[in-house]
Amino acid sequence: MRAERLGPRLVMGRNEPEEAASPPTGEAMDRRIGASPLRRVGRAVLLVAAIAVGLAAAVHVVPAGTKVDRSSLSIATVQRGDLRDEVLARAIVAATVTVMLDATDAGRVEEVAAKDGSLVRRGDFLLRLSNPQRQQEALARASEVAQQLANMATLRAALTVAQGENQRRIADLEFELEQSRKAHARNVKLARDGFISAAAFDESLDRVTHQGRRLSQAVVDAAAERETRVQAIQELDRAIEGLKQGLGIVHSSIKSLSVASPADGLLTGFHATVGMSVRQGDNLGRIESPGKFKLVALVDEFYLARVKPGLRGTADVNGEVVYVEVIAVSPQVKDRRVQIELAVKSRSAAMQLGQSVDVRLTLGASTDALLLADGAFLSDTDGAWVYVLNHEGDEAERRGVRLGRRTHGRIEVTSGLTAGERVIVSSYAGFGTAERLIIR
């Protein structure tokens, strides 16, 4: 045999050692087994968790919030300035004393004797109404009163007749009793002398007793009858008085159809015309005291606790300064405003009824404060929070604040904001409860 030399062999131009023969294994007989169902569920859960973490990271990276247009916003800058503690309001000149003219009854205007804006005196005839129904009621009431008066006369006549008859009957019974007593007195003497029997004597005594009882009963019956008739007359008399009062009311209502001025003053709001129908309670006008004025103004409910009677101020009447003083504050709040009345302390020749004037009420001394422009946002948040813009102005974040006094369209900021910050002062009605706004 020829011995062979083991050594390197040339493979593709490289000298590599010849691989040694690997020992035989059982790999060829092995079979791959798939993943279990539990392991597949676990992998799905891990995948979902990874997606959720990714979305959360994306939310932090991309700012979330309600998108709004810059053109719909009013933005103001917080500034430091002088806060004048006073209230500015628009007031109407009104009369100090006003008497309302209300129709006390319905009717049709038949005559008008006054004009709107004229000076009238108490008792002056203003207009006359007609109401056929009231005339008919007056006739019916008068007829009823007359009928009851006739009934009263009948009752009184019957009472008189009854009293006469009773008196005559009682007189007859008294006479019969007296005759019975005399006859019995004679029988007493005769019985004593033995001229009449005991039975005749007893009969005369019984007759006296019987006549006495008849007389007593007649007196009682006459008294009871008279009491009954008198009571009926009294009741009818009260009914007649009630009818007379009703008739008087009807006559008063007829009289009230002629409307007269209840006071001296200026007749205003009077626009009655002939032929116009008027219902009961309709306002026909008012009488206002001439030359005696007061001011009526509406102020924000924010000042309700600070505007009180006695507070002084000034009013601008065509450039003239007029001094005023608060005399009444209504406790009722309507549309977030409160009505106040002010007395005019200095007269002005230029002041006229119905004129609008500017009123300035001083609440306190001026102070240096951090100020923010007033806006519609205040009614939406009650001053508890605002939307503050970032430096770029493309986002606004909700922030709690504390606001103080208000004057001249500005609000005092006591905490939560610093000078130079920008705040959305327009209405927040469309933002809901958004914590952040994206401004486009």
Write the CB contacts of 99 (distance below 8 Å, at least 6 apart in sequence).
262, 263, 265, 286, 287, 288
> pLDDT for 94-134, tens place per residue?
888 888 888 888 888 888 988 888 888 888 989 888 888 87
Q: Which fold has domain 88-95+292-362?
A: Elongation Factor Tu (Ef-tu); domain 3 (2.40.30)
Which of 5-19, 172-186, 286-300 is predicted least confidently?
A: 5-19
pLDDT of residue 58: 42
Record: fold of 103-128+257-285: OB fold (Dihydrolipoamide Acetyltransferase, E2P) (2.40.50)
In tens, the pLDDT along 244-255 reads 887 777 777 777
Q: Which pLDDT does position 14 carry in this prediction?
A: 44
Residue 436, H or E segment: strand 436-439
Mean pLDDT of 233-237: 86
CA 382 to CA 403: how far, in whole Å? 9
Q: What is the pLDDT of residue 41?
A: 60
The CA-atom distances, in angstroms, between 2 and each of 6, 8, 18, 53 are 13, 19, 20, 74
Q: Return the pLDDT at 426.
A: 92
Over residues 37-48, the mean pLDDT reads: 65
Cβ proximity of 309 and 326 under 8 Å: yes
Q: Where are the domains of the chain?
A: 66-83+367-439, 88-95+292-362, 103-128+257-285, 133-256
Least reliable range by pLDDT among 143-152, 288-297, 343-352: 343-352
- Characterize the bridge pairing of strands 79-83 and 367-373: antiparallel
pLDDT in tens, 417-440: 999 999 999 999 888 888 999 988
Average of per-residue pLDDT across 178-200: 86
96 close to 289: Cβ distance less than 8 angstroms:
yes
Indicate yes or no: pTM above 0.85.
no
Which residues are within 8 A (CB) of 422 and not within 5 positions of it... i.e. 6 or more apart?
75, 76, 77, 78, 388, 389, 393
Residue 217 is predicted with a pLDDT of: 92
Tell how strand 337-344 and strand 320-334 pair up.
antiparallel
Closest CA to 424 of 404, 439, 402: 439
Q: Report the C-alpha gap between 153 and 166 in whole angstroms.
A: 20
| pLDDT > 90 in the chain, percent | 15
Mean pLDDT of the chain: 81
* Domain 66-83+367-439: CATH class, spelled out: mainly beta
Residue 55 reports pLDDT greater than 70: no
